[in-house]
Amino acid sequence: MRVVVTGAARGIGASIAQRFAAEGAALALVDLLPDELATIAAQLGAKAVVGDLSTPAGAEAAFDEAIGMFGGIDVLINNAGILRFRPLLEITADEWDQMFAVNTRSTLLGIQCAARSMIAEGVQGRIINMASMGGKLGAANQAHYAASKAAVISLTQVAAKELGPHGITVNCLCPGYVLTEMGAATRTDEMVAGWSAMSPLGRCAEPADVAGVAAFLASADAAYCTGQAINVTGGMMMQ
């Protein structure tokens, strides 16, 4: 299985890469952080591609390089993303555009590059996009983030309809509160306790919880699952 994971240097992306490595996948990992990417790639015996997915040229070059490393692709994990907080009335046009460039446009370009390769090779591939619980129920101070993730959900649904005739499934994951490096600088013990209380399971997610669902969607067991936005929220959201 040839797998490309973006945003793989740390957090959810690194956990997904670790899960696929454990299952024997040939991995190409893409990220903007060269040192951390080199470390995780070396640990997993994976190929590393340093690329800036926030620009069209950078994204297309990174995806083409990653897919070309193994002469094709079976699974794409579009995980790269950013999270920023800003009151609605203070969000600038540049901040809005940057959020969509990384979270949404790079997802589109990844789908396009992977699907073209899959179709040309006749591969019944899997594309898994990273959305968010926020894409279904936005929180205050996250208008640009929530909107970008809602767009990922809609993009996933359309891609599933257009690529289904080629045997390619497209789904997305909607994690809730995941304890990763991305939010470590801004969260407190009190915040984690409050989030944990929102889940019937009484805890926040670990990156491995998300990685497990990604592995399922890439497996033969999920061959008839497409166009779905799957909650990985510990029951914080049940729809």
The catalytically annotated residue of 100, 145, 177, 195 is: 145
pLDDT reported for residue 183:
65
| Range 107-124 average pLDDT | 97
pLDDT reported for residue 203:
83
Q: Which of 104, 29, 19, 105 is nearest to 65 (CA)?
A: 29
Confidence label for 188 from pLDDT (cuts 50, 70 and 90): confident
pLDDT reading at 216 higher than 90: yes
pLDDT reading at 91 higher than 70: yes
Residue bearing the bigger pLDDT, 19 or 194? 19
Task: Report d(CA 63, CA 1) in Å as an integer.
Answer: 17
What pLDDT digit, counting tens, does each position of 26-66 carry? 999 999 999 999 999 999 999 999 999 999 999 999 999 99
Is 145 one of the annotated active-site residues of the chain?
A: yes
Q: Which of 40, 49, 7, 45 is nearest to 25 (CA)?
A: 45
Confidence label for 25 from pLDDT (cuts 50, 70 and 90): very high
The dihedral through the CA atoms of 146, 112, 180, 226 has a sign that is positive
pLDDT reported for residue 197:
83
29 bridge partner residues: 5, 48
| Range 108-115 average pLDDT | 97
Q: Are 67 and 120 in contact (CB under 8 A)?
A: no
Report residue 135 as tokens: 């894409």
pLDDT reading at 186 higher than 80: no
Whole-number average pLDDT of the chain: 94
What pLDDT digit, counting tens, does each position of 125-163 carry? 999 999 999 999 999 999 999 999 999 999 999 999 999
| Range 199-222 average pLDDT | 92
Confidence label for 184 from pLDDT (cuts 50, 70 and 90): low
Residue whose pair of structure tokens reads 């995780």 in the numeric block: 40
pLDDT reported for residue 195:
80
pLDDT reported for residue 129:
98
| Range 209-225 average pLDDT | 97
Query: Which homologous superfamily is 2-232 in?
Result: NAD(P)-binding Rossmann-like Domain (3.40.50.720)
